[in-house]
Amino acid sequence: MRRITGREKEETLIELKSASDSQIADESCGKDVSSSERTPLPGHSETDKLQPNRDTVFFRDGVRRIDFVLSYVDDKDERKQERRREFEANLEKAGLELETEDKSDAKDQKTYFLKIHAPWDVLTTYADVLKVKVPFRESDIPHGREAPLYWIPHPFGLPDNIMRPERDYFTYPFEKNKEDFFLIRDKETFFPPSTRNRIVFYILARCPYYKEGQKEREKTGIKRLLSNGTYTAAFPLHDCRYWKKAKNGKCESERFSLYSHWARFLCFYKQQPLNLIRKYYGEKIGIYFAWLGFYTEMLFFAAVMGVICFTYGVLSYDDNISSKEICDATIGGSILMCPLCDRKCPFWKLNSTCLSSWQSHLFDNEGTVFFAIFMGIWVTLFLEFWKRRQARLEYEWDLVDFEEEQQQLQIRPEFEINCTNRRLNRITQEMEPYLPVHSRCARYCLSGATVLFWVSLIVACIIGVIAYRLAVYAAFASVIKDPMRKIQLVGRFITPQLATSVTASCINFVIIMILNFFYEKVAVWITDLEIPKTHLEYENRLTMKMFLFQFVNYYSSCFYVAFFKGKFVGNPGDYSYMFGRWSKLRNEECDPGGCLIELTTQLLIVMVGKQLWGNIQEALLPLMRNWWSSRKGRHNPDNHSSRWEQDYVLVNFSQLGLFYEYLEMVIQFGFITLFVASFPLAPLLALFNNILEIRVDAWKFTTQFRRPMASKARNIGAWQEILNAVAILSVVTNSFIMAFTSDMIPRLVYLYAYSKKNNMEGYINNSLSVYNISQIPLQNMPEDDWYDNTTTTCRYRDYRYPPGHEREYTHTMQFWHILAAKMAFIIIMEHVVFVVKFFVAWLIPDVPSEVKARIRRERFLIQEYLHNYEVEKLKLQLSASFITEPRSDLTLTPDKHEMLSECLT
């Protein structure tokens, strides 16, 4: 086959209909088109219409569609030239049609573009191989309604042609020998562009580039050619520019519709056009945006409840008797507290923590218990309702019978190349490659050891941060302690504990970001080392490893503050030390306002910092890249730039691009569920972030990324199991936070068992134990002994007998009562929440009854249509055979045709 190159036959360029098309474009501008189309962009003038239009998705003949584009730079490397010749020759043998654009036509004058078209015969062959579902009859089943408020279309709705860009059809896996069964009106549009580029990529991934007669199995596939530099890029084309409709009537302009109705931030309150997203990008990306949108919708209810609980804390601010006692000069001002660290920390007055106690009350109040229980139920409702939404999408997107992702079950080319051993597949009865057991075990052991090493590195970094907290606390205490210091104004608002917590949280966040850079590469490396057999297996393994790394990386500091800090302190005279007494690093005590406020600080800094950094990476970096490209003259999307050049300068959407989007949201999900009892406003912050995240992701996909290769997915994959695990763990963590990190249980025990006035008066004095200053060892005493010499005792947070008691400095009976109450609270809360969770999960079916009925109805109709088709086909065959038989035979058996007709009917 002959391929056209350079500017040969310039007259065959698609002259996109100057006068008539201009008139059509002008008329369409008045029909729900953004102002960006009506107003020419800088550099665009009316004279552009007179130029030959190269902004097209067709070959030079204007008929054959460009299904894929490969680019390369001719650097005079003979090996690369040889690979390209063999690869392109094999592509032509596979039936693909090629057309090359010479480098002289490119803006940079050095890049060649190879355009690929799959003709009808190739499409039908591989559609049969991949079991692509295609329409055979228009559906007569009416649309179901996803929400009870469907009758409120405004102001959140979008036009019907955007929400449902195509009619509903009954579909069936394509079979080449049954072409006449399917609804083929136009062979050029029967397979949509997303299906066409998926088929072409399947061929590209398996096409060899070794010479005929040679068998070098590693020389296979476009991925290896991209990695060794033979080709610089491989991508399907966007259908048009995002800010302007395509002039060619045969082009869909779906990218423009997505940008106008979805990718702009001003559309944040609108529905997402999920059907159009699925049609343009494929089911896998469509499922992601459906899940993200549903997650954001459900966050609204959690955010409202969190705001209500926080508002309760604000409104009950003045009724907080404990904080009033701390701030009272006659109560808190008369209580001398023991030093919080050795040598550097002084004795201090309790009323110096007045502000901290008020801040703690905002998050640590009676409403927090209710909110923790609510979130345990909310997460169950979220997961169960998502299953229902997912089931509806599976039906509407024709994925019900799509077992696990059929094209994902295809063996990965990397597995075929690296595994030279062959064995018989008992199911398919075909020889297939496999990885020997000894090789698999060795790879798994190395992978497990690598994971363990990097997880240990995270733990080591957390221990380092803890050591920093212990060491720097003394420095802050020595600076903020002295009333004569000039920074007294700051010392009134910032306690040594708060200063230490904030700086340690910031350092921890920086370490997290640095480690993330390495974890991404390590996780990919060890997953490649294991050589998973299928793409689905590859993604699942990478997902589990990456989430394990991120889980330990992001949450370990919060787990430390919530469950370890202040729990193993000891008491004056018998303090506990982190690495033993020789280290002089005394275990941290909680902030006088409680450890919950420190957990809130830690969670706020890490969660908000991650979201801000993620948004900066996703939004600002692509903008800066495009600005730099435009300055160098590489990014000039005007009429004179070809469609393939405009897409070539965009960011490549990698195979793992969607993986990182899921990971970001699942980590956020962990923050708002695992530790939400400490910060009820976390769902509100997540809601604001996700509203922005949806539009930023939409903007990236529409304007900054090359068009991804469309792929199918019926669910969110391994992320579903991770979300379920996090949901169960969140019940446990929030129960322990309320019991051991919050002061709620000690206050309730005092109120109902020890208070004489049935209120919280006297709680502060009751919760502080007494220690004799003269018994404090010298190494624990502060260097500056400034305190009232008339005071012989100091106080500390614990429930121990006072000096002089027969059980001096041992735990009182109240301590054991509180511990029993904490354990009882954990058991009761966990059982209540788990019972409600399982009851709700049982009560809400995963698949709506309406969807089940529609699926059964559709299967019945499909079987009926197939039966009728086979019957009609058999009738035609019999009629043809009767015609070809001699007339004498027909007359001899007059009942033959009659009998067959009765059988067929």
Tell which wins on pLDDT, 432 or 749.
749
Q: Is the dihedral of CA 715, 721, 722, 723 positive or negative?
A: positive
Q: How far apart are CA 614 and CA 623, in angstroms?
A: 14
Instruction: State how far the Cα of 368 lies from the Cα of 493, in Å rounded to an integer.
Output: 25
Domain map (residue ranges) of the chain: 68-267, 279-400+587-633+641-847
What pLDDT does residue 215 have?
A: 63
Mean of pLDDT values over 776-789: 71
pLDDT of the residue at 362: 85
- Provide the pLDDT for residue 898: 44
Burial (0-12, 13-18, 19+ Cβ within 10 Å), 633? exposed
Mean pLDDT value of segment 236-252: 82
For the chain, the average pLDDT equals: 79
Q: What's the token pair of residue 400?
A: 């019900």
Q: Which two tokens stand for residue 737?
A: 């936070």
Whole-angstrom CA distances from 807 to 575, 784, 810, 812, 901 are 18, 31, 6, 9, 104
Angle at 772 between CA 768 and CA 778, to 5 degrees: 115
Q: Which residue has the higher pLDDT, 142 or 458?
A: 458
pLDDT band at 383 (very low <50, low <70, confident <90, very high): very high
Q: What is the pLDDT of residues 41-100, one digit of tens each?
A: 333 333 333 344 677 889 988 889 999 999 999 878 888 999 999 999 999 999 999 999
pLDDT in the model for residue 385: 92
What is the mean pLDDT of the segment spanning 468-474?
76
Q: What is the pTM of this model?
A: 0.83
- The pLDDT of residue 889 is 44
pLDDT of residue 618: 72
748 contacts: CB under 8 Å, gap ≥ 6 = 821
Let me know if 314 is exposed, middle or buried by CB neighbors in 10 A (0-12, 13-18, 19+): exposed
Flag whether pLDDT at 831 surpasses 60. yes
Give mean pLDDT, residues 675-686: 91
pLDDT tens per residue across span 795-805: 988 899 999 88
* Full strand arrangement of the beta sheet holding 768-772: 348-349, 336-337, 793-797, 768-772
Per-residue pLDDT, 148: 43
Tokens of 130: 């991949």
Whether 553 and 514 have beta carbons less than 8 Å apart is answered as: no
Best-predicted range by mean pLDDT (18-27, 472-481, 849-858): 849-858
**Length, in residues, of the chain:** 905
Alpha-carbon span 352 to 367, nearest angstrom? 27
pLDDT greater at residue 75 or residue 264: 264
Q: How much is the pLDDT for 817?
A: 93
Residues of the chain with pLDDT > 70, as a percent, come to 81
Q: How confident is the model at residue 508 (pLDDT cuts 50, 70, 90)?
A: confident
Q: What is the pLDDT of residues 843-854, one digit of tens each?
A: 888 888 888 888
Q: d(Cα 67, Cα 118) in Å, to the nearest integer?
A: 7
Q: Quick check: 605 pLDDT over 80? A: yes
Report the range of poorest mean pLDDT among 498-502, 644-648, 665-669: 498-502
How large is the average pLDDT for residues 657-663? 86
The residue-averaged pLDDT of 346-366 equals 82
**What number is the average pLDDT over the span 743-768?**
87
Q: What is the mean pLDDT of residues 810-826?
A: 92
